Amino acid sequence: MNILIAEDDRISLRILEKNIRDWGYESVMVENGEDALKKISCPEVRLAILDWMMPGINGLEICKIIRQQGHSNYTYIILLTGKDQQQDIIEGLEAGADDYMIKPVNFLELRARIQTGKRIIDLEDRLLESNRKLKDLACHDGLTSLWNRSRILGFLEDELEIAKRGNSLVSAIMIDIDNFKQANDKFGHFSGDIVLQEVAHRLKKNVRQYDRIGRYGGDEILVVLPRCGPADAMEIADRLRRAVGREKIKTPKGLLDVTVTLGCASTKAGGRTSAEKLIQSSDMALYRGKQHGRNCVISDGGDHPL
């Protein structure tokens, strides 16, 4: 953990730096408020020891600015000052300082307060990581790790809005695993889950970097293609079809031949298409592909199957 030390007295600064180094921490040293404000914004600085009285911006003002900015990584601040009146302490804490020490500094006490700050920072980091994982779980399908239904529909809505403003195209591909229900009934749901996971993995590896792919429901998978017209959508869809069917999928019941059918739909240039309409069109194309014999790509424009 890096500790910022902001102290305009060079002797005091060096003494603080030596003790902090001896305690096993890295330090960043500055002698004025402006430099302290720049350094305290660095992600690697998680704890700051600020002298209240410094040239330029003082420690109290830095506390206020940092708390108003609301950085994603919390910075624990210990304010040092010769002021020892109760009102001064209250003013420092209300400005955003986490702790307060009266000069001259007792270094055993300072070490204990730094350890307390580190524990709080560690707790904050664990909480942020837990929140990130919860948010990730809320947006992804638990089985396939693809975006879940609500998230992929949200992406589609967003891309349609962007396309409307920029007069560009958006395409959607609805994908269905051929004979998936029969495979589940014959080989069991555990093997079916493995098939769905592997199909999702192969599809995800073969979409463009800026495309979005999510589990729409059951064994249906939706791909959102920004800035993509009908011809490119058909080409991408056929690449996905071939990627899935190229190799058999290993399951506890043996190697299985798995294919997918894909239905493509695209917005019209200058037109306004709703997400519901685009999904409906891709779903109808998918249905025609199933009628055609599966393992193919069909567009809503009636293009010949690939």
Contact 260, 178 (CB under 8 A): yes
Q: From the candidates 211, 219, 283, 300, give the one annotated as an active-site residue.
A: 219
Cβ atoms of 244 and 223 within 8 Å: the answer is no
User: Across-strand partners of 147?
Assistant: 140, 214
What is the three-class DSSP state of 44? coil
Alpha carbons 158 and 282: distance in angstroms, whole number: 18
219 catalytic? Reply is yes
Distance CA 49, CA 38 (A): 14
Q: What pairing do the DSSP bridges indicate for beta strands 254-256 and 249-251?
A: antiparallel
Q: Determine the Cα–Cα distance for residues 53 and 31; give it in Å rounded to an integer.
A: 11
Closest CA to 155 of 13, 245, 278: 278
- The rounded distance, in Å, linking the Cα atoms of 114 and 205 is 46
**49 close to 78: Cβ distance less than 8 angstroms:** yes
Between strands 2-6 and 45-51, the pairing is parallel
Sign of CA dihedral 56, 60, 65, 66: positive
- State the catalytic residues: 219
